[in-house]
Amino acid sequence: VATLALADPESRGEGPRPALPLLAAALYLFYGPPVFYAGFQLIATLATTLYLLIAWQAFQALAGSSARGWFTLGLLVGLAGLARGNVLLLLAALPLLLFGRRREDPRIRPWRWNAALVAGGCLMVAVPMVRNLVVADDFVLLTSNGGLNLLIGQRAVADGMFAPVMDEPQAEFDPSMEETLERELGRDLKGSEVSRILSRQAVETFLENRGEMPRLYLWKIYRFWNGYELPQVVSYDFWRPRFSSLQVLVVPFALLSALGLLGLFRLPRPGRAVLAILILTYFLSLLPFFPTSRYRQPIAPLLAIAAASYLGAVLSRRRPLNAWRRTAWLVAGAGLLLLLLPRW
């Protein structure tokens, strides 16, 4: 994926310098949380792999001239959506890759290819939807925990971090709130009903506390890009000092995010467009919820690619920047890195 993203189509078909893809791989290799979470039965590792497959197929679809590549891309988005439902937002965002390109290449068929993309995604999502109808007699697209997660994400007192919506002791703790709602309403509830009730509560909570919501969402934005590995289920920052194998993984998320965000502007086309859409769409899709460390992991390798692009630009001797521009990029990188350090 790094080789595809860093390739400059204007350089007479030449690929990127071999050092840049290797640098991107090294930045991700020495970022510790993916290694840490791979040791648990958590979806983060699988979701990261699927997101990389989406990125790879997006480049293949752009380079091709048939609807088949876009249909395959839709299948991969739908498959990744089974792991992380927020990924399905890509079905609406990826068509932006074709915006305005019809004049450049007459082979492009935007409407046909976009229809193939959506068809592939819907076909894959239909599998769990039919399963839910058969097994639970309930119309649920993927899972029914969206309402609960949305409610957690509107808790202004949590400052954008994860905090359960109930304060009961562990013996009475109801993490899904299904039993609590059934007691309150005096009847059994389907998963979709629980999710709709909690979604309404989330909207009501947002409106009741709308004066605090700008501050909450600014906190969530900062916590998403900040280097602090926000815990939920397990804490990377707690366990890292206890495992010597993790202590050698020295690349912090602040480095990936700061240099990666700036590096997006240094990527050649179409790498810039593909990575920008994948990274920013994923970020926006998580914004209503809460940005835990393992939730943001799928975009970490893409940020590593963009960070390699930044470092290649400021250190390059083949296409050197003038002194003023080099200084400006270095100051911007150092300033954003300092801003995103978790020590703040």
Can you spell out the DSSP letters for 193-224?
HHHHHHHHHHHHHHHHTTTTHHHHHHHHHHHH
Decide if pLDDT at 321 tops 80. Answer: no
Decide if pLDDT at 170 tops 60. Answer: no
In 3-state terms, what secondary structure has residue 137?
coil
Residues 27-81 have pLDDT tens digits of: 999 999 999 999 888 899 999 999 999 999 999 998 887 889 999 999 999 999 9
pLDDT band at 337 (very low <50, low <70, confident <90, very high): very high
For residues 311 and 115, give the distance between their C-alpha atoms in angstroms, rounded to a whole number. 38
pLDDT band at 177 (very low <50, low <70, confident <90, very high): confident
Residues 17-30 have pLDDT tens digits of: 788 999 999 999 99
Q: Which amino acid is at 237?
A: D
> Is residue 89 within 8 Å of residue 97, measured between CB atoms?
no
Q: Residue with structure tokens 């390059």?
A: 316
Q: Phi first, then psi: give them for residue 240, nearest 5 degrees.
A: -55, -45
Residues 206-236 have pLDDT tens digits of: 999 999 999 999 999 999 999 999 988 889 9
**pLDDT for the residue 10:** 67
pLDDT band at 98 (very low <50, low <70, confident <90, very high): confident
**pLDDT for the residue 105:** 65
% the chain with pLDDT above 70? 91
Residues 108-150 have pLDDT tens digits of: 777 888 999 999 999 999 999 999 999 989 998 898 888 988 9
